[in-house]
């Protein structure tokens, strides 16, 4: 493990029980992710991309193998310890944005800070600043329903950045956007990466792979080759 490694997967397997049979959604995945990487996990639907993201993002525990975040094996962590790690170290961006419809853009961005105990004034100040950074300074008081898809995804990215995490995990972030808006969103990720954020992007879209510094091709729960 190199000194810049922030996430390491060692022979990770994830099994799901489906009736009588067992699905190996991940089947012996090993990889290292270094600080400042821009990684695209590329694979067809059902290949295990989201499952791998869940492992990397501490949303779920592996059936076999080990996962290290900042050198710590997360295997024996409690659910609330994992929640703390997710809240502080990782920012999630989803295909369907997953904003809370009754909260304004700013309030949505403030949620991760609430769970880290950030004070209200500080939250408003930071939230507003981040929304400005993603180009939504004029939309802070809008509800998600009043925003376009691209704007919603920007709010979601701002939310992912709320606690200034090292890593951003994005699962098909452009999947629900038209190609022009998708490009704008990808630009935000490349900019963030330039400023030092580690980006892990999951997609089935080969066209997005060109942004990557490193591509992990996945098929049937196995990484094909690393380039």
Partner 1 sequence: MKNHLFLAFTNLKRRKLRSWLTILGIFIGIAAVVSLISLGQGLQNFIDTQFEQLGADKIIIEPESFGPPGSVSDEQLILDDGDLKTIQNFRGVESAESILTRTGVIENKKEQEVVFINGVSEEYINLFDGSDFVEVIEGRQIKNSDNSKTVVGYNHVYGNIWENELRVGSSIEIKGKKFDIVGVLRKQGNPFDDNSIWIEKETLRNIFEIGNEEGIIVAKADSGFDVEVIAEGIRNELRNEKDQEEGEETFSVQTSAQLLETFSTIFTVIQAVFVGIAAISLVVGGIGIMNTMYTSVLERTKEIGTMKAVGAKNSDILFIFLFESGLLGLVGGIIGILLGAGIGKSVEYVATVQLGTNYLQAIFGWQLIIGAMTFSFIIGALSGVLPAMQAASLKPAEALRHA
Ligand X SMILES: Nc1ncnc2c1ncn2[C@@H]1O[C@H](COP(=O)(O)OP(=O)(O)O)[C@@H](O)[C@H]1O
d(CA 26, CA 192): 29
Whether 65 contacts 35, CB under 8 Å: no
Binding site for partner 1 (CB under 8 A): 50-51, 54, 57, 59-60, 79-80, 83-84, 86-88, 91-92, 94, 96, 98, 100-103, 107, 111-112, 114-116, 120, 159-160, 162-163
Evaluated on CA atoms 163, 165, 169, 174, the torsion sign reads positive
| DSSP secondary structure code for residue 38 in this structure | E
| 50 contacts Mg ion (rule: CB under 5 A) | yes
Minimum Å gap between C-beta 94 and partner 1 is 7
Q: Record the tokens describing residue 114, joined without a space.
A: 């609430």
Q: What does the per-residue mask of binding to ligand X show for 50-69, with x meaning CB under 6 A?
A: xx------------------
How many amino acids of this chain bind Mg ion (CB under 5 A)? 1
| DSSP secondary structure code for residue 150 in this structure | H
Which burial class, exposed, middle or buried, applies to 169 when counting CB atoms under 10 A from its CB (0-12, 13-18, 19+)? Answer: buried
| 46 contacts ligand X (rule: CB under 6 A) | yes
| 203 contacts Mg ion (rule: CB under 5 A) | no
Three-state DSSP at 195 gives: coil
Residue whose CB is less far from Mg ion, 8 or 172: 172
* Host H or E run for residue 124: helix 120-133
Minimum Å gap between C-beta 145 and Mg ion is 25
Q: What does the per-residue mask of binding to ligand X show for 1-20, with x meaning CB under 6 A?
A: ---------------x-x--
- Residue 47 interface partner, choices ligand X, partner 1, Mg ion, none, CB cut-off 5-8 Å depending on type: ligand X
| Binder of ligand X out of 49, 123, 126, 139 (CB under 6 A) | 49
The alpha-helical segments, DSSP class H, found in 20-101 are: 49-56, 79-89
Residue whose CB is less far from ligand X, 15 or 142: 15
Q: Which of 182, 107, 190, 191 is nearest to 141 (CA)?
A: 107
Residues lying near Mg ion in the complex (CB under 5 A) are found at 50
Residues lying near ligand X in the complex (CB under 6 A) are found at 16, 18, 23, 25, 43, 45-51
């Amino acid at each position: 493990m190199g000194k810049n490694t922030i996430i390491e997967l060692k022979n990770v397997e994830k099994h799901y029980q489906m009736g009588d049979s067992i699905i190996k959604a991940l089947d012996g995945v090993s990889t290292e992710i270094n600080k400042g990487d821009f990684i695209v996990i590329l694979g067809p639907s059902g290949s295990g991309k989201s499952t791998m993201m869940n492992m990397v993002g501490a949303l779920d525990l592996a059936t076999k193998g080990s996962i290290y975040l900042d050198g710590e094996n997360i295997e024996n962590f409690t659910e609330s310890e994992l929640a703390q790690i997710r809240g502080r170290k990782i920012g999630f961006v989803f295909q369907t944005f997953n904003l809370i419809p009754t909260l304004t853009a700013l309030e949505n961005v403030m949620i991760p800070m609430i769970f880290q105990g950030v004070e209200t004034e500080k939250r408003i100040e930071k939230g507003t600043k981040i929304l400005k950074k993603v180009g939504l300074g004029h939309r802070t008081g809008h509800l998600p329903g009043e925003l376009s898809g691209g704007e919603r995804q920007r709010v979601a990215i701002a939310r992912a950045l709320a606690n200034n995490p090292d890593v951003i995990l994005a699962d098909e972030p452009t999947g629900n956007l038209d190609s022009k808006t998708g490009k704008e969103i990808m630009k935000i990720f490349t900019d963030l990466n330039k400023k030092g954020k580690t980006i892990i992007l999951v997609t089935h879209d080969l066209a997005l792979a060109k942004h990557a510094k490193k591509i992990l091709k996945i098929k049937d729960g196995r990484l094909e080759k690393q380039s």
